[in-house]
Each structure stands twice: as C-alpha cells, then as structure tokens.
Amino acid sequence: MEILQNNIILLTLTFGIYYAARQLQKWTGWIVLNPILLTIVALILLLKITGISYETYAHAGNYIEFWLKPAIVALGVPLYQHLGQIRRQFLPIFLSQLAGCIVGVASVVFIAQLMGASRETIISLAPKSVTTPIAMEVCQTMGGIPSLTAAIVVSVGLFGAIFGFKVLEVWHIKNPYSQGLSIGTASHAVGTSRAMEKGNTYGAYASLGLILNGLLTALLAPLILKIMGI
Amino acid sequence: MIRQCFIIFGCLAIGELIVWLTGIAIPSSIIGMLLLAALLQMKAIKEEWVKGMSDFLISNMGFFFVPPGVALMLYLDIIKAEFIPIVVATVVSTIMVLIVTGWTHQKMKSNGDSAE
C-alpha cells in the first residue's frame, strides 16, 4: 500500500470523497449527511483499514488545512458589507455575544467536571465553540491538549451546522440576524459555512458571532477557568 | 488573481507580524480579517480587488476543516474513555450557547425596534 501514502493520491481521495459526499447530500437533501462529517468518517476508516498513520495523511492534509487561515481573513468582506448594520445595533450584538461566550465556556467546564472528566480534557473542551486557531491557542496557554481541542471544535461545528437552525426554531428564535449570530457564536466557521448556504445575511451575522466569540473567548476563558477553580 | 492573493495574504502576514511583535494571544487570521474589513471600510482597497478569491475561500471553508477533523482518530482512546462526559458536555453546552445568544439578541433587538 506504499503508493497510497503519496500526497497527490491522498489529496485526490480527499477531494473525491468530499465531492461524492456533497452529491449524496444534494440527492437525499438530508442535512444530517453533512459532507464534512462524511468525509472525515470515510477518511478515518480508510486510514485505519490501510494502516496509514495520521502523520502521513496530515502531510497531505496540510495543503488543505493551510487555506483555513486565508479563509478566515476573507470573512472580512462580509463583515465589511454589514458594518453599518452592525454599528446600529452594537449593544444587542455585544451583550448577546458576552452571554454566549460565558455560558459556552462555563457550562461545558461545569458539566464535564460534574461527570468526572479529567483536567486535561476539561481544559481541551473549554474553548470548543470558537474557531480552530483561537481554540488551540487558548487550550495551549491553559495546559490542555491542542489537537484534541481541534478535533472537538470540528465536532461542535458539525453539530451546530446540522442541528443549529433546528434548535433555534424549536426555541422560537426566528429573527435571521439572531439565528446567524448564534450559529456563528456556537459553531464557528463550520456553522458559518452552513449559514452562508442559507443566505448572505445569515452568513454575515454568523461570521460576526465567530469573530466576537473568538475574541471574547481568547480574553475571558482563562479567567472563567480560574474562577471555576480548574 | 495575483492581486487578490496579495491582499488576502498581505492582511494575514501583517497579522502574523503583529502576533510576533507583541506576543498577543489573538490568532493572526482574526487580526487579518479585521484589517481587511478596515481597509475596505477606509476605501484603501476596492471590494472587487478581493471578491473572486474571498468568495472562493468562504464558500469552501467547510472543506478546509476536513484534515483537522481527521485528527480525531488520534484521540479515539481518550474519547472512548471519557465518551459520555465529552459528548454530554459539548452537546448540552452548544445548545445552551445557541439559545442564550439567539434569545438575548432577539429580545434586545425587538425592544430596540419598538423604542425607535
């Protein structure tokens, strides 16, 4: 299976599986068949079966992951497009972000602690709602396991992308701005990419939630953990 | 295309530079995003100078999360050992964030609207 360890072949497989997964979601129309989730599961199975190590895959995967940072920079464009609107309702946005950030960190820490998770796991879970680069940074400075955080962040994002709008509807949160904002706050860039599919307004507010919660979590998470005695 | 790449990577590079100089705990990509929005707002750059590239990056953002997601396979042991706490904590907490953020914003926004 030596040839399977070739970067180009691993990249081709990643593109191919993702494309197939996206087609599958289009045909069935099932949101649960999230192409990101399906591709991750399929790739893990493939690597396990062929015995290729994660390190080998990560070599190829880096070429894809690399674009995450420029993609986050690119969110500056929808942010700019909605700047006027955002300025007009600064207070509701800021306060709902603050509430979301504190609840996000405190609740996950509290529940994990209550259920007997180890200290490292608790710290790795704390920044789960925010985008990977921020979450890993926060986790590292507090002494967690950054790559466990990365994996959990993606899972949280998928949960938000798949069930986020459903949860909001059940709780009668119907305003498109509020919906976009909470999707971005709770499930960062993965949720934002789903919100973008729903419409530009949802997407712009989701990127706003992603940015603000990212900033707030970077600033407040260490403090919240300290207060909670972790 | 080259100009688009130059602007987006330029913003990111300045972000990296700021992080390196100040040791600030904010990711370079977030600084780059804020910088790009500021440059657009100040009319230092035009939207069409970055539009094609930014549309491409944003619409494919989910795909870029596949490799970090595959890293899950490294932690199957920890996840298996602490499966229930991890899943319950993240799911409940994520639902709480969605509701608290959305509810606060919707409530304050409708109050603000009626006050106008």
Mean pLDDT of chain B: 88
Tell me the three state secondary structure of residue A33. coil
Single-letter residue type at A12: T
Q: Are A183 and A202 in contact (CB under 8 A)?
A: yes
Q: How many angstroms separate the first and last alpha carbons of chain A? A: 46
- Spell out which residues of chain A touch residue B115, defining contact as CB-CB under 8 Å: none
- Spell out which residues of chain B touch residue A148, defining contact as CB-CB under 8 Å: 75, 78
Q: Which two tokens stand for residue A189?
A: 């860039």
pLDDT at A222: 86
Q: Which of A61, A198, A193, A217 is nearest to A133 (CA)?
A: A217
In this model, does residue B111 exceed pLDDT 80?
no
In this model, does residue A2 exceed pLDDT 80?
no
Q: Tell me the backbone φ, ψ of residue A133, rounded to 5 degrees.
A: -55, -40
Residue with tokens 């072949």: A9
Distance CA A171, CA B100 (A): 10
Question: Per residue in B40-80, pLDDT tens?
Answer: 999 999 999 999 999 999 888 888 888 888 988 888 888 88
- Mutation site, A13, A53, A73, interface B, largest B CB count within 10 A: A73
Distance CA B104, CA A53 (A): 45
Q: Which of A129, A121, A197, A122 is nearest to A159 (CA)?
A: A129
A35 to each of A65, A110, A148, B16, how far by Cα in Å?
16, 32, 21, 31
**Helix pair B2-22, B51-59: axis angle to 10 deg:** 70
Mean pLDDT of chain A: 89
ipTM: 0.87
Q: What integer is the mean pLDDT of A90-119? A: 93
Contact criterion met (CB < 8 Å) for B72 and A161? no
Q: What integer is the mean pLDDT of A145-164? A: 88
Distance CA A91, CA A84 (A): 14
Distance CA A127, CA B99 (A): 18
Q: Which two tokens stand for residue B39?
A: 């440059």
For A36, which of B69, B92, B103 is closest by C-beta distance? Answer: B69
Rounded to two decimals, what is the model's pTM?
0.82
Question: Per residue in A77-96, pLDDT tens?
Answer: 988 888 887 788 889 999 99
Question: Per residue in A45-78, pLDDT tens?
Answer: 999 999 999 999 999 999 998 998 899 899 889 8
In this model, does residue B112 exceed pLDDT 60?
no
For A92, which of B32, B35, B109 is closest by C-beta distance? Answer: B109
pLDDT at A1: 65
Distance CA B73, CA A54 (A): 8
Contact criterion met (CB < 8 Å) for A193 and B61? yes
Contact criterion met (CB < 8 Å) for B26 and A64? no
Confidence of residue A5 (pLDDT cuts 50, 70, 90): confident
pLDDT at A26: 87
Q: CA A66: distance to chain centroid?
A: 16
Q: Are A149 and A131 in contact (CB under 8 A)?
A: no
Question: Per residue in B1-14, pLDDT tens?
Answer: 899 999 999 999 99
In this model, does residue A32 exceed pLDDT 80?
no
For A75, which of B33, B74, B97 is closest by C-beta distance? Answer: B33
From A54's Cα to the closest Cα of chain B, the distance in A is: 7
Q: Which two tokens stand for residue B21?
A: 């100089």
For B65, which of A129, A157, A214 is closest by C-beta distance? Answer: A157
Single-letter residue type at A218: A
